[in-house]
């Protein structure tokens, strides 16, 4: 067990601020502890002699052997809370649950108080929950150190929530169902302990089979990814992350910045962490139930057994929407079904054993399909009929499931006739739903978790690059006192082995002509100015310029830039080799930095309409080879890369390598805040970074 084991399994708990005044939080906490806690309760309050029958002490000093108090629950007013917590630290207490509110959530005084609270916690090395927490629960010792109105029943789910109110709602809901918990923690303001700490703790806890979380944000994304990735190998983590708005995105200076906002950072980060992210509270508990009740499937093929045509089709549709596939039965399965089922039955998946099926027919059909090696899981979908008892059916399903050890979900469609059957299924750990889509969704969660478990962590590749040269390029930009760099910094890509077309930035028509002659053939010319973000928008890009026209084009480009902005800083004009776009695909490769998760790499369909089409995918850097190639699979336009309409497929290997090289560049240089390579032209012969834009944070250099 981890460092927080005494927080959840204390032998002695103190309530600081214990009171019996009606309606107070202090009374609720004390009464909840008295209700079910198996250990010793120490009440502390200098203004009381006894509270609810407990002797009340003036302070920790007055208590016999205060250092043996495992947890201090703090419910005093905010003005004295920090001092009380320091006292607890001084007395040698390690775990503190701060229920008191009036900290960071309440303006500048509160923020200052929270800062002091952190300091005290650091000084005494406290495991501190909250402040502004509902409290903690742990069912094996009957610990209810909360001011909620319901104690959890025992089970193997541990649950953390950033909303205390949501915990009370969930417990009320769970009281009606077969959902039990091991530990529950209300995270509050997360001044000290946060989601990463609890994930680590429960990952080490043999009594926790599933970790659930309701989160509004993540304190330290990088730490969370590291911890969760390890824990999830043993224990599934299912999360609802609320707050999906993207306030930061509008200020971005790059396409990547605009598209890879905080919501996508969470998506990518939680994915990298190996968590199962769900959209709704219903899914949260659907997943929790099936993960704790059913074994993992050994594949993604599902068999459906039903007594009703319509619901069978609904289930099949749901399979189509999921990542599961309908199992193809082997010959023996067909033979047995043909032999044992009525002539009118449909023996093909979904198996329809027709409306007059009693429970025993369900059992036979289920046994036959579960015996098939091509079947990894099953959904039983039943509508009420005069010849079918749901309770009997539930017994049959439970016994077949147990015999085969294959995951099963049930859909007993109905209302009042479902109760007894659902209870039998619940007892056997088999989830039951009205809606077949939920049964399929839950089975799909098992598949997804199996996939997470079987992914082994892969170190990112380190390429041989010229880091010094890259640093010089960034520093010279910093000397120009410029945070925005464009194509004049193309050598940066070169230093990291990302191919760029031949070309250079010049500051006179004569030089431009010389470069064009050197390149040979028609060239592309672009205005180079930190004040012009999107060059083609102002006529700042000319494609197909012949050598004779280079001088005039140079002047034209400068005039257009001046017309756009009189005082624009013009660094010159880039003369660049023409890349054959007809045989290639314009992609975008970019980077944005997220405050929680660090650098994000974005890849997708590029060109000048990138934000209109928005076909992109995001990963948290550093990106490994398989993550990079996964990015290519992810986008909707993937077929374009793979040679749609008779074109030659692009060099995917070169693309995958370029994604990783860029990931290495931004990992090496925290000073790169945002970066776009748009377009990165992918052709059958490799890739070419045709355009570059980046923003620097000089202080990080």
- Which residues form the interface with ligand ADP (CB under 6 A)? 501, 524, 526, 534-536, 541, 543, 576, 578-579, 581, 586, 607-608, 678-679, 690-691
447 binds, among Mg ion, ligand ADP, none (CB under 5 to 8 A by kind): none
Secondary structure of residue 642 in the 3-state scheme: coil
Distance CA 192, CA 118 (A): 7
In the list Mg ion, ligand ADP, none, the entry touching 306 (Cβ below 5 to 8 angstroms by class) is: none
CB of 603 to ligand ADP, least distance (A): 16
Question: Quick one: what does residue 607 bind among ligand ADP, Mg ion, none, with the CB cut-off 5 to 8 Å set by partner type?
Answer: ligand ADP
Q: Do 342 and 330 contact (CB within 8 A), yes or no?
A: no
Q: Phi, psi (5° rounding) for residue 405?
A: 65, 25
Binding partner of 312, given Mg ion, ligand ADP, none, CB within 5-8 angstroms per partner class = none
Q: Closer CB to ligand ADP, residue 43 or residue 523? A: 523
Instruction: Provide the minimum distance between the beta carbon of 694 and Mg ion in the complex, in angstroms, as a whole number.
Output: 12
Closest to ligand ADP by CB, 150 vs 542, is: 542
Closest by CA to 537, choosing from 391, 693, 646, is: 693
Closest approach, Cβ 539 to ligand ADP, in A, equals 10
Q: Which residues contact Mg ion by CB under 5 A?
A: 678, 691
Residue 275 binding partner per list Mg ion, ligand ADP, none, with a CB distance cut-off of 5 to 8 Å that depends on partner kind: none
Query: Of the two residues 195 and 691, which places its CB atom closer to ligand ADP in the complex?
Result: 691
Instruction: Answer with the entry of Mg ion, ligand ADP, none that 514 interacts with (C-beta below 5 to 8 A by kind).
Output: none
Question: Cis omega (within 30 of 0) on the bond before 679?
Answer: yes
Beta-carbon contacts of 427 under 8 Å, excluding residues fewer than 6 positions away, are 178, 398
Nearest CB to ligand ADP, comparing residues 501 and 686:
501
Nearer to ligand ADP, 283 or 556 (CB): 556
**Pair 368, 333: CB distance under 8 Å:** yes
Closest-CA residue to 519 (of 505, 498, 501): 501
The minimum distance between CB 579 and ligand ADP, in angstroms, equals 4
657 binds, among Mg ion, ligand ADP, none (CB under 5 to 8 A by kind): none
CB-wise, 277 or 535, nearer to ligand ADP? 535
CB of 529 to ligand ADP, least distance (A): 10
Cβ count near 175 (within 10 Å): 12
CB 590 within 8 A of CB 674: yes
Is 448 in contact with 286 (CB distance < 8 Å)? no
Q: Please give the Cα distance from 172 to 183 (Å, whole number).
A: 16
The DSSP call for residue 352 is E
With respect to Mg ion, which residue has the nearer C-beta, 186 or 574? 574
Taking the complex as a whole, how short is the minimal distance between the CB of residue 187 and Mg ion, in angstroms?
Answer: 43
Residue 690 binds which entry of ligand ADP, Mg ion, none, with Cβ cut-offs from 5 to 8 Å by kind?
ligand ADP
What residue is closest to Mg ion based on CB?
691
**Location of structure tokens 């054959």:** 580
β-strand partners of 98: 74
* CB of 594 vs ligand ADP, minimal distance in Å: 24
Tell the smallest beta-carbon distance from residue 484 to ligand ADP (Å). 12
CA dihedral (639, 645, 647, 652) in degrees, to 10, reads 10
Q: At its nearest, how many Å lie between ligand ADP and the CB of residue 478?
A: 22
Q: Least distance from C-beta 415 to Mg ion, angstroms? A: 59
Whether the CA torsion 631, 636, 639, 644 is positive or negative: it is negative
| Parallel/antiparallel/unpaired status of strands 325-326 and 301-306 | parallel
For residues 231 and 524, which CB has a smaller minimum distance to ligand ADP in the complex?
524
The residue (of 202 and 603) whose beta carbon lies closer to ligand ADP is 603
Nearer to ligand ADP, 190 or 526 (CB): 526
CA-closest candidate to residue 506, choices 469, 557, 466, 546: 557
Query: Do residues 71 and 97 lie in contact, with contact meaning Cβ atoms separated by under 8 Å?
Result: yes
CB of 352 to ligand ADP, least distance (A): 54
On the CB side of 631, CA atoms within 13 Å amount to 32
| Residue 243 contacts residue 217 (beta carbons within 8 Å) | yes
Side-chain half-sphere exposure of 45, counting CA atoms within 13 A:
24
**579 contacts which partner out of ligand ADP, Mg ion, none, CB within 5 to 8 A by kind?**
ligand ADP
Nearer to Mg ion, 186 or 678 (CB): 678
Question: What is the spatial distance between Cα 543 and Cα 448, in angstroms, rounded to a whole number?
Answer: 47
């Amino acid at each position: 067990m981890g460092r927080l084991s005494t927080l959840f399994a204390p032998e002695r708990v103190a309530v600081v601020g214990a009171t019996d005044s009606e309606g107070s939080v202090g009374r609720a906490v004390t009464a909840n502890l008295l209700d079910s806690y198996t250990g010793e309760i120490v009440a502390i309050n200098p203004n009381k002699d006894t509270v609810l029958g407990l002797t009340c002490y003036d302070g920790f000093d007055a208590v016999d052997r205060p250092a043996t108090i495992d947890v201090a629950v703090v419910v005093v007013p905010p003005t004295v809370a920090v001092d009380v917590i320091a006292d607890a630290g001084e007395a040698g207490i390690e775990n503190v649950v701060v229920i008191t509110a009036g900290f960071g959530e309440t303006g500048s005084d509160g923020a200052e108080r929270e800062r002091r609270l952190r300091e005290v916690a650091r000084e005494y090395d406290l495991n501190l929950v909250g402040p502004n927490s509902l409290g903690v629960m742990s069912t094996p010792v009957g610990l209810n150190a909360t001011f909620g109105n319901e104690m959890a029943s025992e089970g193997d789910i541990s649950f953390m929530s950033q909303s205390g109110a949501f915990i009370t709602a969930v417990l009320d809901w769970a009281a009606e169902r077969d959902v039990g918990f091991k530990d529950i923690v209300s995270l509050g303001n997360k001044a000290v302990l946060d989601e990463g700490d609890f994930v680590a703790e429960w990952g080490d806890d043999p009594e926790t089979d599933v970790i659930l979380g309701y989160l509004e944000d993540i304190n330290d994304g990088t730490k969370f990814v590291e911890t969760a990735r390890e824990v999830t190998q043993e224990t599934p983590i299912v999360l609802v992350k609320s707050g999906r708005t993207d306030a930061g995105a509008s200020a971005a200076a790059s396409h990547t910045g605009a598209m890879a906002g905080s919501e996508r950072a969470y998506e990518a980060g939680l994915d990298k962490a190996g968590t199962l992210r769900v959209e709704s509270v219903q899914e949260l508990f659907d997943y929790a139930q099936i993960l704790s009740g059913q074994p993992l499937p050994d594949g993604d093929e599902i068999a459906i057994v039903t007594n009703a045509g319509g619901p069978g089709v609904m289930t099949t549709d749901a399979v189509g929407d999921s990542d599961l596939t309908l199992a193809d039965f082997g010959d023996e399965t067909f033979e047995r079904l043909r032999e044992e089922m009525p002539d009118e039955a449909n023996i093909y998946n979904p198996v329809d054993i027709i409306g007059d099926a009693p429970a025993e027919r369900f059992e036979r059909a289920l046994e036959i399909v579960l015996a098939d090696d091509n079947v990894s899981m099953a959904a039983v979908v039943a509508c009420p009929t005069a010849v079918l008892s749901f309770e009997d059916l539930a017994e049959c399903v439970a016994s077949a499931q147990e015999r085969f050890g294959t995951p099963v979900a049930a859909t007993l469609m109905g209302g009042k006739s479902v109760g007894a059957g659902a209870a039998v299924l619940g007892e056997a750990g088999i989830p039951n739903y009205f809606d077949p889509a939920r049964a399929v969704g839950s089975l799909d969660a098992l598949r997804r978790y199996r996939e997470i478990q079987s992914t082994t962590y892969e170190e990112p590749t380190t390429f041989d690059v010229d880091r010094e040269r890259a640093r010089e390029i960034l520093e010279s930009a910093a000397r120009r006192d410029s945070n925005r760099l464009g194509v004049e910094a193309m050598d940066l890509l070169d230093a990291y082995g990302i191919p760029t077309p031949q070309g250079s930035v010049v500051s006179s028509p004569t030089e431009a002509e010389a470069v064009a002659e050197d390149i040979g053939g028609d060239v592309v010319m672009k205005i180079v100015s930190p004040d012009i973000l999107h060059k083609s928008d102002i006529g700042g890009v000319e494609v197909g310029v012949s050598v004779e026209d280079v001088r005039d084009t140079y002047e034209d480009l400068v005039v257009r830039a001046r017309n756009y902005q009189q005082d624009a800083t013009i660094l010159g004009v880039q003369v660049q080799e023409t890349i054959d776009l007809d045989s290639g695909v314009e992609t975008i490769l970019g980077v944005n930095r997220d405050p929680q998760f660090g650098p994000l790499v974005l890849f997708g369909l590029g060109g000048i309409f990138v934000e209109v089409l928005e076909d992109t995918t995001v990963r948290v850097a550093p990106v490994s080879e398989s993550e990079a190639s996964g990015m290519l699979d992810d986008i909707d336009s993937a077929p374009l890369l793979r040679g749609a309409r008779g074109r030659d497929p692009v060099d995917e290997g070169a693309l995958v390598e370029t994604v990783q090289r860029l990931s290495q560049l931004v990992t090496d240089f925290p000073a790169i805040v945002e970066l776009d390579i748009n377009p990165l032209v992918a052709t059958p012969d490799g890739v070419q970074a045709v355009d570059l834009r980046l923003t620097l944070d000089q202080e990080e250099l």
